Amino acid sequence: MKDIYESQARLRGIFNITVTPFTARGEFDFAGLARNVERVIALGYDGILIGGTYGEFPTMTTEERAVLFRKVMDVVGDRVPVMLCSAGSDARAVSELTRLAGELGGLPMVTPPFVSEVTHSQIVSFFKQMTPLSRTGILVYNAPGIGITLPPAVLEELADIEGVVGIKQGDLNPTAIDQIANRLGGRLRLFCASDLAFLGPMMCGFDGISTTNSGALPEVILATYRALEKGDAATARELHQLWYPYRVLARRHGQPQLVKAAMNLRGFDGHHVRSPLIDLEGGVIEEVKAELLRLAQDPRSGVTLK
């Protein structure tokens, strides 16, 4: 992507949140990462997200994240849009990574700075400092899991900043979704940050979703999204219900741990998580395997096992 206008025009659809495969020693497996990227592009995903919260960016140094950005953009080129997470609590690191992401043709995804007692006015000021750094604009990530939940009123202020091309909304409270969809829809792109409960936001008029579990279940999640995109709500609901038992496991055992375990069982390159996360093992792996076997027996899922 070469500028803000192209970035916003292409920012729609279903984006795979690509996990970062680490070796048992905690090193990057870039070959495995490339295979994971190629898989979802070949299936028809509209874009990818690299180095987000489920990509384990908090466990990486700034230098490692920069290498990750470059490696992925070398693989993807301009085939699909790429969100590159440049979030952080150190504004210097965020500035460096935001500038790099834009230079590489990706879209920087930036969270509010997660420091204690930061005020709404300071958050708005922070984003005003970040947006000029990227020629492709920035995506605001409202990520409650990181510690700050931005209310719709603050998101409206951020939407007025030149260079903000979209919001990835992690607070899926129905009232917040309704307010955001109706106040900001059409002004900038709206993304649902979770595949666990995306039917509601999409029905309200959001422009797309980002999905971690599509690393493990790329077929059924893509089919669900495409059905909803075509206006076939009944099929979308049926397919979303199909993988509910998997979502139960995801909520119980955590992401990306469960995603990587399921990917490994399918012969994909999930590999390991980095400390302080811990790989799933033992009985939990057997639970995941049983769920994948159940899905593989249902032709609607598209899931196959080696």
Any domain includes 302:
no
Any domain includes 288:
no
If one counts the domains in the chain, the total is 1
Position with higher pLDDT, 177 vs 305: 177
Tokens for 172? 């899926």
Any domain includes 273:
no
**2: how many CB neighbours lie within 10 A of its CB?**
10
What residues are labeled active site?
A: 141, 168
Any domain includes 300:
no
Any domain includes 275:
no
* Residues ≥6 apart with Cβ < 8 Å to 197: 172
Closest C-alpha among 28, 39, 66 to residue 268: 39
DSSP-H helix ranges across the chain? 4-10, 30-43, 62-76, 91-103, 120-130, 152-159, 174-184, 199-204, 218-229, 233-242, 244-253, 257-265, 283-296
Position with higher pLDDT, 145 vs 281: 281
Is the link from the previous residue into 113 a cis peptide, with omega within 30 of 0?
Answer: no
Evaluate whether 293 touches 305 at the Cβ level (below 8 Å).
Answer: yes
Q: What whole-number distance in Å separates Cα of residue 206 and Cα of residue 172?
A: 12
Any domain includes 184:
yes
HEC string of 174-186 equals: HHHHHHHHHHHEC
Domain that holds residue 81: 4-240
Any domain includes 63:
yes
pLDDT tens-place string over residues 135-181 = 999 999 998 877 688 999 999 999 999 999 999 999 999 999 999 99
Q: What whole-number distance in Å separates Cα of residue 10 and Cα of residue 306?
A: 35
Any domain includes 274:
no
pLDDT tens-place string over residues 19-72 = 999 999 999 999 999 999 999 999 999 999 999 999 999 999 999 999 999 999
CATH code at 226? 3.20.20.70
User: What's residue 115's pLDDT?
Assistant: 82
Evaluate whether 113 touches 81 at the Cβ level (below 8 Å).
Answer: no
